[in-house]
Structure formats: C-alpha cells, structure tokens
A = this chain, B = another copy of it.
C-alpha cells in the first residue's frame, strides 16, 4: 500500500534515506522538508570553502533540489522548517522560513534527520558581538567569508580544538590570517590521548598558530573584539569562530514526546524506531550503540549518518537491515599531518574502569629505503582477551590507511593478534614487508605472550624520582640529543659482553629511541635472568608527551 514518508532534514542522513527509499519503491510519496535553502550539501567541505581550497560554492552541492525532484521524484520543500508534530494524528506543521507561512502535512512514516547544532554557550558579551560565527551550513561559511572580506580581517580566534575547529584553523591560516586557537581542555582532538595530541600541538604551532590550552572562553568584550579567557587572559580578535562541539538538534522531537537520552539525543532501537509509533530517527540526532562498549553514545559523523539512512530505507521496505553499532572511525587533516582514530582511547577507558594494555610504535609509512618514507605515530589499545579497543595514528602519509585497516579488523571482531596476519599490499612505495599494522600485532603479541614487560611514558618520571635503574641502549652518538637523567648506557650491540655491569637485584628499565632496540635488549636481558622492562614507544613517545 502506498505510504507517505516524510523526512525532516535534507542533508547526509535525510538525503540518503530519501534516495534509497525511492530506489526501493516507485509508489510511495517521499517528501523532504529542509529548513535551509540547500539540501544534500557537503557539510564536511565547509571549512575548505572558507580557506579557498574548494573554490566554488557549487562544488559543495552534492545533489540539487531540482535533481532530487527530477531524478528521484521526491517532493522537496527547502526553506521550510517542520515546527510541530502531532503523533496521534500523524500530522506535521511546517513553516516557510522566507515568508513565515505555515501549513500542515500528513505522514504515514516520519523520519527525523535533523542533525546536530553547534553549541553556542551563553557567555557574557556574545549578544553584543556581530563577529562571532559557527560552522554548520553554507550560509554560515558565506557569512564568515563576507565578514573577512568586508572588514579586511587579519586576526582571528577559533574556540575549540575538535576537528571542525582544527580544520577552520588550518583554512584561516591558508587565508594568511593570524590565528589563535583556544581549547579549554589540556589537548586538542578529544579522540586522541594526550601524548598523541602533542604531535598535533607541535604541528599547529609550527604553522604559526597561537595555541592556548587549558583555558576556556569566559566572555567577549568590546563588542566581540576581544575574547576574555577563564584565566583572565585577553585576546584581541576581529572575528571568532565557535567550534566547541555539536548537540543533537532534537527540540522538535522532544516537543512531540520522542524519548531522548544523552545530551538530548533521540533514543532509537535496532530499526531506528523511536518510542513514538511511526517516527524514526537517524544521523547526528540519535544515540548509537558503541561498538566497543555496547553502551549508548553519540558519534556525529557523516559515514554513520549515510549508512543509517540507507539501512532505514531498507527496513521500511521489508529488507533485512539493522542499526549497526558504531566504532567512530575518524580522520582529520591538520596541516601536513593526517590524524586518524578508531574506537576508544585510554582516557575514556580509564574513566570507564575498563582495563587495557597499549603499544606505541613509530614505523615508517613505507619501506625506509624508498624516498619519502615518514614515521607513522601509531598507538593501539587492547584488552586482556586480545580484543582491540582502539587505535590512533598520526603522520604525513598512510596514517588513514592503517586506521582503516584496523577499523576493518575491529568491525569483524578480529583480535590484536589478527593484525599480525593482515596481508597489507606491499611494494616499496606503499608499505613495508612488515606493515605498521603487522608490527602493532607483533608488539602486542610479544606483550601478551609475556616476552616483554613494558612501562609507559607517564610512568617514567616517578621511576626516575625513585632512582630506578634506567638503561639506555642507543649508540653513543645518539646521546647528544638528550637522555633520561641518571640513566646508564650500554649500546645494544655491547650488551651481551657487559651483562656483569647490570644489577640483578632490581628491575632494569631499558629504552632506546622508538622502542625497537629497547625491546631487543629487553629480550637479551630477560633471557639472561634480569627483571627487565622496555619503555613502550621509546624516548620519542616520552619526549613528545613533554613537548
């Protein structure tokens, strides 16, 4: 029987569910309401339009209203906000945002893909500022571009070091502007752990950005021409971008009695059904099941939104499709660096009381002897059963690839040992005969087999304090660049001949530059009866954490 399916929100989730609904039925009415002027636009491209990497606004329009009508026979109402839902009567009230006129419409099924809205905290002085912007849609970035041009802006502030804040930072730098980036927590990019985020901090500062961490915005002064931070510090600014996160845009749903949970996100079941009959929801506005923990969480990303749209269309047409748990695999370009993550980080696991082990490594992106190889800073986190809990990779090349491979293994419930077995396509320009992903598996397997005990970068200082026995196994010429205070030194190659110099009555903490030679040395010592630990990730991880 013919149904009238109404979709609220016409971008990632909304447009995806609409097209698939049409491919599965020519009969149903498929109706889309979008309060903005544009549907189906590239939210993710917005920062690059500001910076000029994407030159034409039209490039951001993935599908036009006209095509949606012509190619997909979808009834599209843009510039039209859905302002009310009557779930009993299956009727919505809509308002034309251009002329204020209202109307009603009847649905058999209602799909909410209303997305997330930027958080704009109520801070003093904001109301008096006409130069504070957030980045959600095309009009937003046009306003930013116009303001920069009209006021010949030179000095800008970005509040928030999440991926949107970072992308905006890079793009504003690309415009030649002087940028200050303010982040209230101790690090940018929450999916990273601190020691990994330090690589990003360094990169940001390398590009001339003034990075302020551990300090949040308290108020604006001078009609938005200064940002005053919690510390009292004042920053002159001609334009400010607020990018401190998004909240599920669920006001409409809540009014209609749709059940919400975390931060107001809509609660749906395995088929995207809300508690209200015939109302479904997808995208940034919903809670999803965390693939790792099995608990509910928010993962506002485009991939899941698109996938959920497609799967919901399937379900509504009687095909087998479920609301899949989400890993939250993500990536951002931060100047020359690619920063990619999947699953959970240590900070989260600590807070959640989930026990875990980690491995840090710094392998080459491709064979070291082929030009252009560069280190990938890789961290993997796994539990006692070998389940992979998360991974983080940073580098100028190939970081995204390694996280994607690990993400695939995680999705298939592979173990950390399975990383040893993944056949990564190898030729010198692309990988090594042992790929970074394989190394991660080997190193973790070594840990799990008890071949090596490790200490982490954040345990070093306390051990130095306690005058623990640190053994540096690098070559002599490497010591010039710094060593752990009080550490002893025997180059790895001399170790077997100098075992007598080492104490048998206390633990020995070996280290090298990245962990590899330390591990090899640790094996020699362990096999010779010493109680030995290797510094995971070597001096590089330890020192970078202190950057």
Which residues does A use to contact B, with CB under 8 Å? 12, 23-27, 42, 44-45, 48, 53-54, 59-60, 62, 67, 70-71, 73, 163, 167, 301-307, 310, 319, 324, 326-333, 338, 340-342, 367, 369-371, 400-401, 403-405, 407-409, 411-414, 418, 420-431, 433-435, 438, 442, 449, 451, 492-493, 496, 520, 523-524, 527-528
Contacts and interface: CB of A to CB of B under 8 A. Distances in A.
Given A53-B370, A408-B414, 9 more contacts: A53-B371, A59-B369, A303-B433, A307-B421, A333-B430, A400-B430, A404-B422, A407-B423, A409-B411
A423 B420 CA distance: 20
Contacts of A428: 42, 44-45, 48
Nearest to A495: B71
8 contacts: A71-B520, A324-B421, A326-B423, A331-B426, A338-B430, A400-B430, A412-B414, A412-B418
Nearest to A528: B26
A400 B425 contact: yes
Nearest to A299: B423
Nearest to A322: B421
A51 to B, nearest CB: 11
B433 A60 contact: no
B411 A331 contact: no
A403 B342 CA distance: 19
A427 B369 contact: no
A215 to B, nearest CB: 27
Given A45-B367, A301-B426, A423-B342, A527 B26 contact: yes
Contacts of A433: 12, 44, 302-303, 305-306
A23 B329 CA distance: 35
A75 to B, nearest CB: 14
A528 B27 CA distance: 10
Contacts of A67: 493
A164 to B, nearest CB: 10
Given A26-B527, A433-B306, A44 B403 contact: no
A488 to B, nearest CB: 19
Given A42-B428, A60-B369, A408-B405, A451 B48 contact: no
Contacts of A420: 307
B411 A496 contact: no
Contacts of A421: 307, 324, 411
A370 B301 contact: no
A544 B225 CA distance: 59
Nearest to A519: B23
A527 B2 CA distance: 13
B405 A404 contact: yes
Contacts of A310: 442
A53 B367 CA distance: 13
Contacts of A330: 425-427
A492 B425 contact: no
Pick the most buried of A418, A423, A438, A524: most chain B CB atoms within 10 A of its CB: A423
Nearest to A424: B404
Contacts of A524: 26
